[in-house]
């Protein structure tokens, strides 16, 4: 169980007003100390350079100019083919102690530790409420091929520099930072939801004024030193974390090599505001000025957590123009559509906070049956167990303990005000959502991709031409730790926030009795003594899912000719990428206007790259196939199972194509086509042991005979593994939890059972005196997504 809070923290929790004054005072004092004294010394790190200058791009056959192929003469690695590509796996969303939130969750690992962990070295994590002491050892098992540490640009390094005097003071020795850190950990939900109270916004704004350029230089130095061409690639980057009004508009900014701007770009305004109208446009404008306008600098931006944007990631088309509002809240222009396309090359659709491909009950214009593809690791859900739920919810959420977690997490005994159960957004608002904490079809890739095609018909350019990647969003500095077996044992991604069973799986909580909230802090100023194990002394008792809705995260895959910054970045930029939900499946698609050779699947299985080798004409995933007549295109989809690490890889169960287009009136349409399916795939055993029956590879050619040259279309492939146990189920089966041991009086396990803290393993029903539990055996299908291929015809 979690260690009890310190007496100081308990005392402060009874007076949030006092904590507000203390925290603000601490921040001002530390800010002045840092800004007025030049005595703080930073670590002297060398800036070893790597990478090679960029060179002109070439365009493959039938591909549009946005899918460049780098000339073969620039290859560096021995035994690298000038034409053949292979799959590389990486993580481009990593936080360490230089990020504001990660510092207070886990102040152990920095950028160097993150890269070394990705290479295969051991890392250490905290435990028991102490974010400063190594307590758990972990190893990735299978090293990554590439990684990019992406600290929050906002307050970059501020609290590490202030609390530890830029590394000259041991972590945990600054009492002011200890108080502030405990308060942040106790109220972490306001950061997850974005509903940060005014005084913390003020503190954040003040902290953002602390110079970050020296920290940015240190991050670059570490990345450049840890870069090992042909073996392990690092990228300089950071996260632009606009979070105004709870609308998540986050983007990871990844630079090609060591040629980068002098400083990061922060989304924090001088004064607190909910207006995010121009946040993305400000980012793009500044990158254009400070990077791409300079010789040798190149960059891509990668939106993520779009499932938390509350309808703001892609705004609805409005009015007679049929265009969405954009810069200055005016309609989107052709130049700004091109600007967004220039930088936003990819979107991250799988990470620690869920999957952003699609959501149950909100797939626009879907034809055919979506029986299993959505409902996978939904962070937000429209399935609230209410009469006005979408009809699809009843097909997925049957009230069983085996339902997907999103069906259960909002309907546990007494659960109220869930951060996951939402309603559809009803407005196109800026800075706040209506209703509060809502979701929209255009928060999800499945709907965004054809929406971009509809706008291309109006503007001549597609602002939403996104390739797909996954990444972890770890806040532990353990890059690429997405193996759910390891995640279930001792990892998590939130430091001391999800290191113990009650936090990872859920626990009973009490809420203070209704009383007015403090107008400044946003919190209830009255501390009500409660006991979560005693229903009679626990107002508004509810089962809090805590971190159970989180996932181990995803991985980014690229098809490139060698493991260097140049080749992998060019693959990212031309969108020859794929996403996985954490597995190391490989997936690949090619499109052509002509029939493929009969042995195309065997060629792909042999590792050939037919387009680059000149044996067929067409484009790889991420590209645009032009001049396609009626009766085409031909698309080949190929997938290979994860070969496995400490455990065997899972066989494939299904291979699909998802087509998207906009009809003549601009309405979004979708069609899901199952290419191959192993209908005899086994289900997981009761102990979650791996079932390895099934094909290692799947490959099929799809011909879209319904293709309309006047409309165009997009296509991406999705491969699904055999069913396996979710990480939370694995954690519960490993413990051998018996839900029959729950106490009827309060729905908790007695200490004598050995299961105390594992209540989240059970679907709890009843009321005080009559509580019962049913083991939650939740399974899922890990998956991989290819980047889309866009197909269009001559106008």
pLDDT tens for each residue of 298-320: 999 999 999 999 999 999 999 88
Q: How far apart are alpha carbons 478 and 105 in whole angstroms?
A: 13
Half-sphere exposure of 500 (CA within 13 A, CB side): 16
Helix (H, G, I), strand (E, B) or coil at 101: helix
Is pLDDT above 50 for 42?
Answer: no
- 147-to-303, 416, 478, 568, 691 alpha-carbon distances in Å: 17, 39, 11, 11, 31
CB burial of 596-630 (b: ≥16 within 10 Å; e: otherwise) equals beeebbebbeeebbbbbeeebebbbbbbbbbebee
Q: Residue 392: which pLDDT band, with cuts at 50, 70 and 90?
A: confident
Quick one: which of 389, 345, 352 has its CA closest to 253? 345
Q: Residue 706: which pLDDT band, with cuts at 50, 70 and 90?
A: very high
Least confident span in 282-296, 409-423, 721-735? 409-423
Token reading at 400: 């069983």
Q: How far apart are alpha carbons 291 and 428 in whole angstroms?
A: 32
Position 39 scores a pLDDT of 35
Q: What is the pTM of this model?
A: 0.89
Q: Residue 86: which pLDDT band, with cuts at 50, 70 and 90?
A: very high
Quick one: which of 690, 771, 779 has its CA closest to 377? 779
Position 202 scores a pLDDT of 57
Mean residue pLDDT across the chain: 85
Q: What percent of the chain has pLDDT over 90?
A: 64
The helices-and-strands tally (H runs, E runs) of the chain is 20, 30
Q: Residue 170: which pLDDT band, with cuts at 50, 70 and 90?
A: confident
467-470 and 697-703 beta bridge pairing: unpaired
Position 527 scores a pLDDT of 53
Is pLDDT above 50 for 556?
Answer: yes
What is the phi/psi pair of residue 28, to 5°? -65, -45
Q: Residue 29: which pLDDT band, with cuts at 50, 70 and 90?
A: very low
Is pLDDT above 50 for 444?
Answer: yes
Is pLDDT above 60 for 287?
Answer: yes
Q: How far apart are alpha carbons 206 and 765 in whole angstroms?
A: 47
Average pLDDT on 270-283 reads 90
Neighbours of 740 (CB within 10 A): 11
Position 195 scores a pLDDT of 59
Position 770 scores a pLDDT of 96
- Where residue 85 falls (left for φ over 0; alpha for ψ -120 to 50; beta otherwise) is beta
CA angle 442/308/362 to nearest 5° reads 40
Is pLDDT above 60 for 49?
Answer: no
Is pLDDT above 70 for 71?
Answer: no
Least confident span in 147-161, 354-368, 623-637? 354-368
Q: Residue 41: which pLDDT band, with cuts at 50, 70 and 90?
A: very low
Token reading at 413: 């005994």
| Best mean pLDDT range from 11-15, 20-24, 205-209, 629-633 | 629-633
Position 437 scores a pLDDT of 83
Q: Residue 24: which pLDDT band, with cuts at 50, 70 and 90?
A: very low
Q: How far apart are alpha carbons 125 and 113 in whole angstroms?
A: 11
Q: What percent of the chain has pLDDT over 70?
A: 83
Q: How far apart are alpha carbons 337 and 343 in whole angstroms?
A: 10
Average pLDDT on 595-611 reads 96
- Own/partner contacts of 25-30, CB < 8 Å, gap of 24 or more, are 26/176, 26/177, 26/179, 26/180, 27/180, 27/203, 27/206, 27/207, 28/206, 29/176, 30/162, 30/163, 30/176
Partners of 367 in the beta sheet?
671
Is pLDDT above 80 for 326?
Answer: yes
Is pLDDT above 80 for 108?
Answer: yes
Quick one: which of 466, 546, 478, 467 has its CA closest to 506? 546
Half-sphere exposure of 57 (CA within 13 A, CB side): 16
Q: Residue 47: which pLDDT band, with cuts at 50, 70 and 90?
A: very low
Q: How far apart are alpha carbons 694 and 697 in whole angstroms?
A: 9
- 756-to-2, 414, 751 alpha-carbon distances in Å: 12, 20, 5
- Do residues 758 and 766 lie in contact, with contact meaning Cβ atoms separated by under 8 Å? no
Partners of 127 in the beta sheet?
130
Position 578 scores a pLDDT of 98
- Do residues 777 and 401 lie in contact, with contact meaning Cβ atoms separated by under 8 Å? yes
Least confident span in 35-39, 466-470, 525-529, 659-663? 35-39
Position 475 scores a pLDDT of 96
Average pLDDT on 438-454 reads 95
| Best mean pLDDT range from 11-20, 537-546, 695-704 | 695-704
Q: What is the CA radius of gyration of the chain?
A: 25
Q: How far apart are alpha carbons 751 and 755 in whole angstroms?
A: 7
Least confident span in 201-215, 394-408, 416-430, 696-710? 201-215
Q: Residue 208: which pLDDT band, with cuts at 50, 70 and 90?
A: low
Position 633 scores a pLDDT of 96
Average pLDDT on 245-273 reads 92
Position 40 scores a pLDDT of 37
- Do residues 551 and 352 lie in contact, with contact meaning Cβ atoms separated by under 8 Å? yes
Neighbours of 319 (CB within 10 A): 9
- Do residues 760 and 413 lie in contact, with contact meaning Cβ atoms separated by under 8 Å? no
Is pLDDT above 70 for 652?
Answer: yes
Is pLDDT above 90 for 13?
Answer: no
Is pLDDT above 70 for 62?
Answer: no
Is pLDDT above 50 for 59?
Answer: no
Q: How far apart are alpha carbons 138 and 469 in whole angstroms?
A: 25
146-149 and 233-234 beta bridge pairing: parallel
Average pLDDT on 216-240 reads 97
Token reading at 63: 């591909």
Helix (H) or strand (E) holding 586: strand 586-592
Q: Residue 577: which pLDDT band, with cuts at 50, 70 and 90?
A: very high
Q: How far apart are alpha carbons 575 and 390 in whole angstroms?
A: 34
Neighbours of 713 (CB within 10 A): 26
Is pLDDT above 50 for 15?
Answer: no
Q: Looking at the chain, how many residues does it have? A: 795
């Amino acid at each position: 169980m979690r260690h009890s809070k310190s007496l100081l923290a308990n005392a402060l929790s009874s007076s949030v007003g006092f904590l507000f004054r203390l925290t603000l005072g601490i921040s001002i004092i530390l800010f002045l100390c840092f800004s007025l004294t030049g005595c703080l010394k930073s670590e002297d790190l060398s800036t070893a350079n790597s990478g090679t200058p960029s060179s002109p791009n070439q365009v493959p056959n039938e591909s549009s100019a946005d899918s460049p192929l780098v000339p073969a003469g620039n290859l560096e690695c021995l035994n690298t083919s000038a034409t053949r590509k292979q799959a590389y796996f990486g993580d481009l969303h990593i936080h360490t102690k230089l990020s504001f939130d990660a510092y207070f969750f886990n102040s152990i690992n920095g950028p160097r530790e993150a890269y070394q962990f990705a290479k295969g070295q051991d890392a250490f994590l905290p435990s028991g409420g102490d974010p400063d002491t190594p307590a758990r050892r972990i190893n990735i098992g299978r090293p990554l091929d590439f990684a990019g540490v992406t600290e929050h640009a906002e307050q970059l390094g501020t609290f590490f520099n202030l609390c530890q005097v830029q590394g000259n003071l041991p972590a945990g020795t600054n009492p002011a930072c200890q108080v502030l850190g405990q308060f942040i950990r106790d109220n972490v939900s306001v950061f997850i939801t974005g509903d940060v109270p005014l005084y913390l916004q003020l503190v954040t704004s003040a902290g953002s004024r602390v110079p970050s350029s020296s920290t940015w230089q240190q991050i670059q130095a570490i990345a450049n030193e840890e870069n090992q061409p042909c073996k392990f690639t690092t990228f300089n980057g950071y996260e632009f974390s606009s979070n105004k009004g709870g609308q998540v508009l986050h983007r990871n900014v990844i630079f090609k090599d060591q040629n980068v701007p002098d400083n990061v770009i922060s989304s924090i305004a001088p004064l607190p505001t909910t207006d995010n109208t121009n946040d993305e446009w400000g980012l793009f404008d500044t990158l254009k000025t400070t990077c791409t306008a300079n010789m040798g600098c190149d960059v891509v931006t990668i939106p993520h957590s779009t499932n938390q944007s509350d309808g703001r990631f892609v705004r609805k088309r409005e009015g007679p123009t049929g265009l969405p509002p954009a810069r200055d809240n005016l309609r989107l222009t052709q130049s700004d559509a091109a600007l967004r396309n220039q930088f936003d090359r990819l979107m991250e659709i799988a990470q620690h906070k869920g999957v952003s491909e699609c959501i149950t009950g909100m797939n626009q214009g879907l034809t055919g049956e979506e029986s299993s593809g959505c409902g996978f690791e939904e962070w937000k859900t429209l399935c609230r167990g209410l009469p006005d739920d979408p009809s699809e919810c009843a097909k997925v959420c049957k009230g069983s303990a085996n339902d997907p977690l999103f069906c259960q997490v909002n309907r546990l005994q007494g659960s109220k005000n869930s951060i996951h159960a939402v309603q559809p957004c009803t407005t196109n608002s800026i800075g706040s959502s209506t209703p509060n904490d809502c979701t929209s079809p255009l928060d999800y890739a499945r709907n965004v991709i054809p929406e971009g095609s509809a706008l291309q018909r109006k503007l001549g350019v597609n602002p939403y031409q996104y390739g797909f990647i996954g990444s972890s969003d770890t806040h532990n500095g353990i890059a690429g730790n997405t193996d759910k077996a390891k995640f279930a044992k001792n990892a998590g991604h939130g430091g001391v926030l999800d290191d113990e069973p009650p936090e990872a799986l859920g626990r009973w909580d009490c809420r203070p009795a209704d009383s007015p909230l403090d107008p400044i802090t946003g919190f209830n100023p009255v501390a009500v003594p409660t006991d979560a194990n005693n229903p009679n002394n626990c107002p508004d008792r509810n089962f809090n899912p805590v971190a159970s809705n989180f996932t181990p995260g995803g991985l980014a895959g690229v098809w490139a000719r060698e493991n260097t910054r140049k080749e992998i970045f060019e693959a990212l930029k031309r969108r020859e990428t794929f996403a996985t939900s954490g597995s190391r499946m490989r997936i690949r698609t090619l499109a052509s206007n002509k029939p493929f050779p009969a042995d195309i699947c065997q060629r792909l299985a042999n590792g050939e790259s037919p387009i680059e080798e000149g044996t067929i004409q067409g484009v790889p995933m991420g590209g645009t196939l032009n001049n396609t007549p009626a009766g085409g295109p031909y698309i080949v989809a190929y997938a290979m199972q994860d070969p496995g690490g400490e455990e065997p890889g899972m066989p494939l169960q299904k291979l699909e194509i998802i087509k998207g287009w906009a009809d003549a009136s601009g309405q979004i349409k979708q069609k899901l086509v199952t290419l191959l399916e192993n209908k005899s795939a086994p289900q997981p055993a009761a102990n979650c042991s791996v079932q390895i029956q099934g094909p290692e590879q799947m490959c099929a050619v799809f011909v879209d005979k319904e293709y309309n040259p006047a409309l165009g279309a997009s296509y991406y492939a999705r491969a699904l593994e055999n069913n396996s146990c979710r990480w939370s189920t694995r954690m519960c089966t490993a413990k051998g939890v018996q839900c029959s041991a729950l106490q009827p009086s309060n729905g908790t396990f007695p200490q004598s059972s050995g299961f105390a803290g594992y209540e989240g393993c059970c679907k709890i029903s009843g009321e005080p005196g009559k509580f019962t539990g049913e083991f939650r055996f939740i399974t899922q299908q890990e998956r991989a997504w290819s980047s889309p291929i866009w197909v269009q015809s001559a106008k």
